[in-house]
A = this chain, B = another copy of it.
């Protein structure tokens, strides 16, 4: 690593650049691979940046800056100096899609001074071969200690009317289906209004979208915009300017419309732009992880164990049983005790049934929801003190179940639903985590269904972003793995908090359980380009009974084939991966279930073989510490043939591929559960041709012969 410091530093080899912005007051450039960054101060001292991929414009000159209560820091700057450094390192995540991650980038820090206020502001750019990240840094300085961020001037000006894969810029949820449209067509009004299957929807700006935002240009350029290391700051949404191809950062506000309360020295999260002319490169990018801080978990991470888990959960989502013990909070007997409805899912006998299933299947975990009192009146009323996180229902025997599970080598996974009342959770968090340790729960699934308390805060605002981090820190302190549902979408913080294994923060498989809308066949082909760019998702794949599973809704069905459900274990990465369906539905298909039993959840390597957002994704991954490879391929509503070049296999070795594919007559709509399993010998020279039905998928396990 070398360090050089000079004004208007020009990287070698960039001398031929002749890019736009007429006569800037100051200019700094940097590049890595084909990605080129240019920073300018215009004549008004307004900072701007632009990005190219080779000779292709990716981001046209776009605004930078922060607006503080203390002053608008988006023009009137002088460039004091700039510092350029290069980094080329490789690091090992505790778990992940690959064992080694290379972080090679050029960093440019531009040191700005605001002329009228004298405030110092640094902008840090990191240029990677697959994109650019940048953030604002407020150095320690006289006369500026506390800042209230009221706006962020960051913009992303696109060179064309890109096709966007977007969901509404909602302050409280990401659980929408994706819309594919031109940038200029973005309007979330009707979508929000009609999404009655989502509990909380707050979208004051009808032209705002969430990140990660996936974009595709007519020139073949793929651009993904998101953020990395979201800490002590609200989530960034993007406002789409109707009259130009401009996306502007839009931060989730608090009750007063303020965005962030920060104290110098501080820095914002990284704004990330991943660029390629190949869609597969977008999915292969590790830029967001590279922009996050190293692990805080210390040397002993043996307690962080990626794993699959079954759960007393799908039966509730589908209405076969209930989270609650009684039908209503006032359904009590003369002594004031709740009268059991007989439909309570988390009863000891039923939980044992799942433990038995997990034990016989080699699945390490069993999640149990609805085990603790409060579910008769838990949601929708902005009630602050719903759960205490430690009091079981009378029919859930904590000690007996712990012992029963332990004897079978299975761990129960804790469920802490907060009903959006973060204040209540914070008050009880130590008690909750002590309970987990006392009863041997290695992991907790948290939930934030409903409007947030503190009232005035939003799921994706600064206060809640800090809350989620506090929970991750508390879990780290107690050595508990964390899977956060309804939390803000991830931004690569799993590098820093490797016990924060997964988030929901998207429209999961559960929508197929409790609504007829469900998720369209293309949904899972978009997720990798959007939600998953930030980190693992607890999507809860693996449903085998695809029709007739929902109580009282006989026509409801998943928009998938069974083979596609298998493929999701590879295409949707999570180190906590649910085996979501009921035991009896797996036992009905032991041959297909074998793939789920065998598929890994932690990987040495990952190859993005084919990908096109909204159309298809094919990914191959090598199991951590094993020679086995697993392939998942999925398609949208169109059938296709996935072509897999097996060159990733070790040369000279002979393997056998077990292929779980859609039956020839399979179709997500009319024949979803028809699959076919075949085995073929393969080696690094092989090419596999894998047919996918409409709405279908394919899963392959390649093992040494």
- Whole-angstrom CA separation of A54 from B455 in the bound complex: 47
**Residue in contact with A454 in the complex, picked from B145, B377, B463, CB distance below 8 Å:** B463
Name the segment of A380-388, A476-484, A515-523 touching the other chain: A380-388
Q: Which residues of B contact A329 (CB under 8 A)?
A: 145
Name the segment of A108-116, A255-263, A303-311 touching the other chain: A255-263
Residue of B nearest to A381 (CB): B146
Q: Judging by beta carbons under 8 Å apart, are B261 and A382 in contact?
A: yes
Distance in Å from the Cβ of A622 to the closest Cβ of chain B?
43
Q: Judging by beta carbons under 8 Å apart, are A255 and B383 in contact?
A: no
Q: Which residues of B contact A382 (CB under 8 A)?
A: 146, 148, 261
Total residues of chain A contacting the partner, CB 8 A: 28
Residue of B nearest to A328 (CB): B145
Instruction: Report copies per complex.
Output: 2
- Whole-angstrom CA separation of A523 from B256 in the bound complex: 36
Enumerate A235-263 residues with CB–CB distance to B below 8 Å.
254-256, 258, 261, 263
Q: Judging by beta carbons under 8 Å apart, are A261 and B383 in contact?
A: yes
Given contacts A145-B329, A329-B145, contact A423 B454 (CB under 8 A): yes
A3 within 8 Å of B (CB atoms): no
- Whole-angstrom CA separation of A455 from B259 in the bound complex: 12
A548 within 8 Å of B (CB atoms): no
Q: Judging by beta carbons under 8 Å apart, are A140 and B330 in contact?
A: yes
Q: Judging by beta carbons under 8 Å apart, are B426 and A383 in contact?
A: no
Binary interface encoding of chain A residues 170-196 relative to chain B, with 1 for a CB under 8 A from any of its CBs, else 0: 000000000000000000000000000
- Whole-angstrom CA separation of A384 from B255 in the bound complex: 15
Enumerate A251-293 residues with CB–CB distance to B below 8 Å.
254-256, 258, 261, 263
Enumerate A331-356 residues with CB–CB distance to B below 8 Å.
none
Q: Which residues of B contact A650 (CB under 8 A)?
A: none
Q: Which residues of B contact A256 (CB under 8 A)?
A: 455-456
A457 within 8 Å of B (CB atoms): yes
Distance in Å from the Cβ of A261 to the closest Cβ of chain B?
6
Enumerate A121-170 residues with CB–CB distance to B below 8 Å.
140, 145-146, 148
Q: Which residues of B contact A197 (CB under 8 A)?
A: none
A651 within 8 Å of B (CB atoms): no
A430 within 8 Å of B (CB atoms): yes
Q: Judging by beta carbons under 8 Å apart, are B255 and A145 in contact?
A: no
Enumerate A456-472 residues with CB–CB distance to B below 8 Å.
456-457, 463, 466, 470
**Residue in contact with A261 in the complex, picked from B254, B384, B430, CB distance below 8 Å:** B384
Q: Which of A456, A466, A470 has the most CB of B within 10 A?
A: A456
Q: Which residues of B contact A457 (CB under 8 A)?
A: 454-456
Q: Which residues of B contact A146 (CB under 8 A)?
A: 381-383
Q: Which residues of B contact A263 (CB under 8 A)?
A: 377, 381, 383
Q: Which residues of B contact A148 (CB under 8 A)?
A: 382
Distance in Å from the Cβ of A377 to the closest Cβ of chain B?
7
6 closest cross-chain pairs (CB), A and B: A255-B456, A456-B456, A454-B454, A255-B255, A146-B381, A254-B455
28 residue pairs bridging A and B, Cβ less than 8 Å apart: A140-B330, A145-B330, A145-B377, A146-B381, A146-B382, A146-B383, A254-B455, A254-B456, A255-B255, A256-B455, A261-B382, A261-B384, A263-B381, A263-B383, A384-B463, A384-B466, A423-B423, A423-B454, A426-B426, A426-B427, A430-B430, A454-B454, A454-B455, A454-B456, A454-B457, A455-B456, A455-B457, A456-B456
Apart from A146-B383, A261-B382, A423-B454: 15 A-B pairs, beta carbons within 8 A:
A146-B381, A254-B456, A255-B455, A256-B455, A258-B455, A261-B383, A384-B463, A423-B423, A423-B426, A426-B427, A427-B427, A454-B455, A455-B457, A455-B463, A456-B457
